[in-house]
Each structure stands twice: as C-alpha cells, then as structure tokens.
Amino acid sequence: MSIESTINQLREELRQHNYNYYILDNPTISDYEFDMKLKELQDLEEKHPEFFDANSPTQRVGGTITKNFNTVVHDFRMYSLDNSYSKEDLLDWETRIKKLVDGDVQYTCELKYDGASMNLTYQNGKLLRAVTRGDGVQGDEVTANVKTINTVPLQLKGNFPDRFDIRGEIVLPIAGFIKMNEERIATDEEPYRNPRNTASGSLKLQDSAEVAKRPLECLLYSIKGNSLNITTQFEGLEKAREWGFKVPNEAKLVNSIDEVFEYVAYWDEHRHNLPYEIDGVVVKVNSLYQQDELGFTAKAPRWAMAYKFKAEQVSTTLNEITYQVGRTGAITPVANLKPVQLAGTIVKRASLHNADQIEKLNIREGDEVYVEKGGEIIPKIIAVDFTKRPSDSEPTKYITNCPECKTELVRIEGEAKHYCPNYNRCPPQVIGRIQHFISRKAMDIEGLGGETVALLVNEGLIKNYSDLYDLTIEQVIPLERMAEKSAENLINGIEASKQIPFERVLFALGIRYVGETVAKKLAKHYKSIDALMFASSLDLITVDEIGERIAESVVEFFNSEDNREIINRLQSFGVQLEISAEKLANQTNKLNGQSFVVSGVFETVSRNELKKLIEDNGGKVSSSISSKTSFVVAGDKMGPSKRTKAENLNIPILTEQAFLRLLK
Ligand code: AMP
Ligand code: ZN
C-alpha cells in the first residue's frame, strides 16, 4: 500500500473512532489503542508533509496561535430569538402564527443550550470555517480553536450538500466544568464562575492547544444553505445527525401548542439531569415552507420562540456566617444555610464573596434569605426577607482577626478581600502553599497528596516546603494510612523533584501573581534565584509582560526573612534554583529584539526545534508576517501567500542554512 493510502486509511479509521466515542458515546477500542493509532498517523504526517491535511484527526490537538481573529460576514444572518415566559406568551405567539399561515402547524421543540453560538461552514464535506455570532451580521473567525472540539466533525459522512452552514451552541458540560475548577482551585487560581462564560471565553483564547484541553462540546440545531433538499426543521436535525454532528436526542416533533406546554413542563423539571446547562426550550414551526411565509422581524424569526425557565429560587434561614482562609491568605465569608432543596441538589452553603457584598445585602445571621441557582454552579444569595428579620438580630460585624491564627487582617486599598498577613505561620496558608508546591504543574511530587501534606503539617513534621527535603522514612511510616511501600515512594518522589527545572521551581514557590508563564519569563530573564532576589521593582518591570503588581509581589516575597531562609534551605538540599548549565550554554542574546516568522518544512531541525532556537537566543517567534517582522525563516513548501506578503513588505527571507549561520 502506498504511504498516501496508509495515511488516508488511518485518518478514516480515527474519524470513525472519534465519532463512536464522542457522538455515539460508544467507543469500540481502548483509549490506548486510539492513542497508538493517532501517534502512528502523526509520525507519518511529520515524515510526509506533502500529504498535509488541515482536517486530519491529528489537527485536533491544536497548537496554532491566533493573535487577531478575522472578522467574517455571515452568509446567512444569525438572528436572535424572541423570549416568552408563560403559557399566555406562547398562546399569543400561536395566535399570531395562525393569522399568517394556512393549514395545521407542527412544532419542533428543542432544548435551549446555554453556551456560545457558533456558525460552521462546510464545503465538500470539510469544515471550512467556524465563526462566532458577533452582531449577527458578522462575527470572529475562530476555526483553529473550534477544530479542537471533538464533537465538531472535520470530515462529514453520508450524503451531505456541497456547501452549507450549520449552527450550534458550544457548551461546557457540567462535569468537565467542575473538573477544570478543581484543578484551578488546586493551584489557587480563581475558579471560573459558570460554564457558559467559560465556554465563550475559550473560543477567543489565542493558543488553540489550550482550547484543546477544555472538554467543550458543540450541539447543533439548525442548517442554512441554498437548495438543501430539506423540508422541515426536524428533518434537518435528523440529516445533521447522519452526517456526523452531535444533535441531542431530546428534540421532539409535536402537533399542538398543548404538547409544547408538556415539553416545557417536563424539561423545567428534569433539566438538572442533563449533562449540560439549558436556560429554556426553543419552539420552532416545523415546516420550512411555513417558516418562509412567516419570515423575520428586525431582530428575530417569527417562526421561533424561546421559552425561558425561571432561575430557581428558594428561601431558607442563614444560620451562621463563617470565614475561610485561602492559600494566599485571602478571606472568603461563607453563608451556612439551613439545608434546602434547590435545582436538584441540597444546598447548605453559599459564598458571600467579601465584606462589601455583606454590606450590600445588609445580611445578618438568623435572616431568612432568598437563594438562587442561575448560571452559576455555586448558589448565591439574592436578597434578605426583611419582614422576617428577628427582633433581636444584630448587624454583621466583619471579622477583624484571622479565624485560624488570630492575626489582625489587612485590606489592601483597591482590593475587595481582606487578607491574613501571617504568611508563614497561618495553618491553612502553610498547608495550601505546600500543596501548591507539590502539585502536578509545580514540583509534581509523586507519592505525596494534599491530604498527606495536611497530616505532615498537623503532626508538626513540616512547617514549610523546604522541610519536605529532610523528611525520613522513619518519620513518615507512623502516619495514618501510610504503609512502608508508600512511605518509600513518598521519599523517592521528593528526592526526584530535585531535578525539576528552575522555572517550575519558581512557579512552585507560590509567589502571589507568579503563575506558570510569568515564572518562565522571570527564569529566562534572571537565570538564577540569586539574581531575581536582588532585582528591584524598577528592574523587574523592564522584563517583558511583568507589570507593577507582579513586580511588587516578587519584591515583597523576597523581602521576607522567612522566605529567604526557606530558599537557602532549598538551595542546600540541591533543588534547582538556577537554569542548568547545559541549558544556559545554548542560550545567547544574539537575536534580541528581532521577530521571526517560521514557515515550511526544514531539513536538519524540526520546526519546533527551530522556534526554540530562536527563543533561546533571545528572539521572538510570531505566527503571522507584519511590518514588525524582522526575518522570515523559510523551509521547503513555504506557503505562497506568506511569501508574497514577505516580499511586499520587503522582509528578508532566510533559508534554514542562512539562519543557522546567523547563530554561529
Ligand atoms: P438569545 O441569545 O437570548 O437571543 O437567544 C438566541 C440564542 O439561543 C441563539 O443565538 C443560540 O445561540 C441559542 N440557542 C440555544 N439553543 C438553541 C436552539 N435549540 N435553537 C436555536 N437557538 C438556540
Ligand atoms: Zn491566619
């Protein structure tokens, strides 16, 4: 078999497995087997770039960086929907329809998915582009990001029209949302507020590899095109399903407005059993002929109507306000409620965010309060029922001291939250910081989990993360649920973390506002903790992407004697606190201030190696050519449009060899 047909066959197979897994929810091979086949295809494609296909299953992992999203005018305008909130509203709508069309009217009832609307254009069965709704007339092209969503087919099956648009909603299923938030909380990042905003925010991320990591789905509900050979909305849904799209099965064809009411009532009650959030249902006149007769108002189709569910509310008693201390010392007031059933779960607690919120609500212990579950997973308190306030109730006094260590709290100007400044002695801060230190993206210490950290601190075996490095097996074995084997693993895991490179150690230290990216920037610029420690605020802000807020936080961290002592100890244990000599040897400033665009296929180095070479030598890599580009490094098969652009802007084009000479 020729290489090309092997590649095509693998692509076809992987497509089918993707479909089985994501659309049918019925995989027929193991994840491992799938990964192996994908790897095989990746290798072949890398060796044979002449068979590149932008819609290959390998393109799902992302990696494209988009700086500016292009604006694209929709072929068919994306209208909004009229809203209704009651049976009467729906009956009025029916009356209006019956005046304008003859004959019986059937309705397709669908769920109203709560996410971000998306228009996909397919040509010859391939995804051509994906565009956000924007203002309805034009939106942003986000194809690279949408391609990473597994439920968006890159190649259709069956008998599809040559060209058409299909619309859907990009949603983040609740389980995936919760998992993402657990990971964020573990690294002390602010959790996302709700799935809808997270889904729409994801579409505008610049790095499509980041989008690929998010468990987004695309649920389809409408096809647009010329001469499609479809006569009803419901038939459209069935066809879309046949072509490989994810069209939820809850859609229902009904014959009367009474049946619409039944559908509405059913889903108002059962919506919490769905894997994703909906905020209502959408009712559509089924016949496309009748739809044509009805037409559009300035804003929405006359043939469709959204029915919005009310956000569910209940009232209950606020028993007590307690206060939580986070890893960075931030205080969060929590409302402890008399348990109450709401939106399918029992609610016991709600966040009160900060002192301002308490003041705004004028809320007191003992109050009867209204709790609502809207788009947010965490319920919120909407209002107090002042008619029920007990006569002996007392105004809420915000705490002045840390509930855990009794230190006086501080509130930095311009910030909403109070902080406990007892950075190195306040137990939840101590535990939280060590938990961050050992986490996967930081020191990634195998054999040590968050609970064990808490145990070690509570038993007085460690006081900060540097103490991990002189733990012994004998100290650990007596701990609860610790067998000899796991104690050994733990100590080995700690030992192994001494190899973790400097940039990750820097992230692991848990300096406020120093996330992964900032840590990388700082490590690259200062090269060692000693240099960083002596950097002034003024010096720090000269580093690319480091602002005042970060600079001050870094300076403050190293101003603390405790912290300097901890760093000394880490150093004495052999933790990597500078860029390794080997890495340093490969780094220069030769390309400082120069910006490169890399295009085509190269002989002696891979494209990624080439990019790394540029960055290691102080240059910048960007994805598109502009007047700011200093050089284009061109390999074999450089895109013709890139070449024309470079030539028009008079930007020198370097061959691979010429570039490597530049470095020597
Ligand atoms: P609105 O944003 O309130 O004007 O509602 C219109 C939006 O609802 C559309 O742009 C879609 O993104 C979304 N929507 C969700 N589910 C459906 C559905 N089944 N049919 C049509 N639109 C839907
Ligand atoms: Zn404290």
Strands 163-171 and 217-224 come out as antiparallel
% of the chain beyond a pLDDT of 90: 65
Give, for ligand 1, the residue of 79, 107, 108, 117 to mutate: max count of ligand atoms closer than 8 Å to Cβ.
117
- Candidate from 169, 253, 299 with most ligand 1 atoms within 8 A of CB, to mutate: 169
pTM of the model: 0.66
Q: What is the pLDDT of residue 413?
A: 82
Going by C-alpha positions, the residue among 469, 503, 504, 473 that lies closest to residue 487 is 473
**Cα of 114 to ligand 1 centre, how many Å?**
8
Amino acid at 507: F
Predicted confidence at residue 601, as pLDDT, reads 82
Ligand 1 atom at minimum distance from 83 CA: 3
Task: Quickly state the pLDDT bin for 395 (edges 50, 70, 90).
Answer: very high
User: What digits encode the pLDDT tens for the residues 476-509?
Assistant: 998 877 888 899 999 999 999 999 999 999 999 9
Instruction: DSSP letter for 21, please.
Output: I
Residue 374, pLDDT above cutoff 70: no
Backbone angles phi, psi at 17, to 5 degrees: -65, -40
Token pair recorded at residue 519: 């840590």
Q: What is the distance in A from the centroid of ligand 1 to the CA of 81?
A: 6
Q: Is 561 exposed, middle or buried (0-12, 13-18, 19+ CB in 10 A)?
A: exposed
Burial readout 224-249 (b: 16 or more C-beta within 10 A, e: otherwise): bbeebebebbbbbbebbbebbbbbbe
Residue 378 pLDDT greater than 80, yes or no: no
Q: Which atom of ligand 1 is nearest to the CA of 111?
A: 19
CB burial of 375-407 (b: ≥16 within 10 Å; e: otherwise) equals: ebbebbbeebeeeeeeeeeeebebeeebebbeb
Average pLDDT, stretch 582-609?
81
Which residue minimizes the CA distance to atom 18 of ligand 1? 112
Q: Where does the pLDDT of residue 95 fall: very low under 50, low under 70, confident under 90, or very high at 90 and above? A: very high
User: Where are the extended beta strands (E) located within 215-344?
Assistant: 217-224, 252-254, 278-285, 304-308, 312-325, 331-342
pLDDT surpassing 90 at residue 63: no
pLDDT score of 269: 87
* pLDDT, tens digit (0-9, with 9 covering 90-100), for 629-657: 899 998 887 777 788 888 888 888 888 88
Instruction: Point out the ligand 1 atom lying closest to the alpha carbon of residue 78.
Output: 10
Mean pLDDT of the residues in the chain: 91
The number of the ligand 1 atom at minimal distance from the alpha carbon of 114 is 15
Determine which one of 112, 252, 284, 417 is catalytic: 112
The predicted model gives 3-27 an average pLDDT of 92
613 or 10, which is more confident: 10
For residue 376, pLDDT beyond 70: no
The string of pLDDT tens digits covering residues 312-343 is 789 999 999 999 998 888 899 999 999 998 87
The C-alpha atoms of residue 587 and residue 482 are separated, in whole angstroms, by 44
Single out the residue of 509, 544, 500 nearest to residue 524, CA to CA.
Answer: 544
For the chain, count helices (H), then strands (E): 25, 20
Tell me what the mean pLDDT of segment 194-221 comes to: 93
Whether the predicted pLDDT of 602 surpasses 70: yes
CA 196–ligand 1 middle distance (angstroms): 13
Alpha carbons 662 and 632: distance in angstroms, whole number: 13
pLDDT in tens, 530-541: 999 999 999 999
Active site residue 112: yes
- The candidate with the shortest Cα–Cα distance to 367, out of 378, 352, 356, is 352
The atom number, within ligand 1, closest to the CA of 80 reads 4
* Residues 525-538 as b or e (16 or more Cβ within 10 Å = b): bbbebeebbebeee
- Tell me 51's DSSP state: G
CA 409 – ligand 2 centroid, Å: 8
The residues, any chain, with a CB within 8 Å of residue 395's CB and separated by 6 or more, are 364
pLDDT score of 430: 94
Ligand at shortest distance from the CA of 112: 1
- With vertex at residue 320, the alpha carbon angle to CA 315 and CA 325, rounded to the nearest 5 degrees, is 120
Residue having the nearest C-alpha atom to atom 17 of ligand 1: 112
pLDDT of 603 above 90: no
Q: Ligand 1 mean position to 221 CA, how many Å?
A: 9
* Contact (Cβ atoms closer than 8 angstroms) between residue 623 and residue 596: no
What residue owns the CA closest to ligand 1's atom 5?
A: 81
d(C-alpha 85, C-alpha 560), whole Å: 58
* Contact call for residues 180 and 189 (beta carbons, < 8 A): no
- Calculate mean pLDDT across residues 276-303: 95
SS (H, E, C) 111-128: EEECCEEEEEEEECCEEE
Per-residue pLDDT, 375: 58
Q: 51 CA distance to ligand 1 centroid (A)? A: 39
pLDDT at 491: 94
Kindly list the protein residues whose Cβ atom lies closer than 6 A to any atom of ligand 1: 80-81, 110, 112-113, 117, 133, 169, 221, 282, 306
Q: What distance in angstroms lies between residue 303's CA and the mean position of ligand 1's atoms?
A: 13
Q: What is the DSSP letter of 446?
A: T
The residue contributing the CA closest to ligand 1 atom 4 is: 80
Q: Considering every ligand atom shown, identify the ligand nearest to the alpha carbon of residue 407 and give its number.
A: 2
Q: Which atom of ligand 1 is nearest to the CA of 308?
A: 3
> Tens digits of per-residue pLDDT, 49-61?
899 998 899 988 8
Q: What is the pLDDT of residue 188?
A: 62
Mean pLDDT, range 165-172, rounded to an integer? 97
Query: Length of the chain, please?
Result: 664
DSSP secondary structure letter of residue 442: T
Residue 100 confidence (pLDDT) above 70: yes
- Is 410 in contact with 426 (CB distance < 8 Å)? no
How confident is residue 199, by pLDDT bands cut at 50, 70 and 90? very high
- pLDDT at 517 > cutoff 90: no
Predicted confidence at residue 182, as pLDDT, reads 81
Residue 403 has pLDDT above 70, yes or no: yes
Token pair 């209704």: residue:
84
Average pLDDT over residues 4-32: 91
Q: Which ligand sits nearest to residue 426's alpha carbon? A: 2
Nearest ligand to the C-alpha of residue 167?
A: 1
Residue 187 has pLDDT above 80, yes or no: no
